[in-house]
Amino acid sequence: GSLSVRGEVLAVGGVSAKVEAAAEAGIKKVIIPKTNMKDVILSEEYKDKIILIPVSTIQEVLEHALDWKGKEDILNKIKRFK
């Protein structure tokens, strides 16, 4: 995906195919742009295999993508930059 200069997560093309490929690869969670949620069309076989995490800012991406255990103070500082 892409980011704006303000840290906004921008929509991506072909999101359904990318999510299905992730599910095929065994990935359980996928972070996608919130603006792409309406575009995701999954066949029944994938709906129970994967969790979609919609995000709209880089702060949300970092929150979900990284392990913050023991480093919650850093996460809270990052969240203040909204």
- Name the token pair of 59: 């702060």
| CA nearest neighbour of 8 among 65, 76, 82 | 82
DSSP string of 44-63, one letter each residue: HHHHTT-EEEEESBHHHHHH
Q: What is the pLDDT of residues 25-70, one digit of tens each?
A: 999 999 999 999 999 999 999 989 999 999 999 999 999 999 999 9
- Name the token pair of 74: 């850093």
Residue 80, pLDDT score: 82
Q: How far apart are CA 57 and CA 59, in angstroms?
A: 5
What pTM does this model have? Answer: 0.86
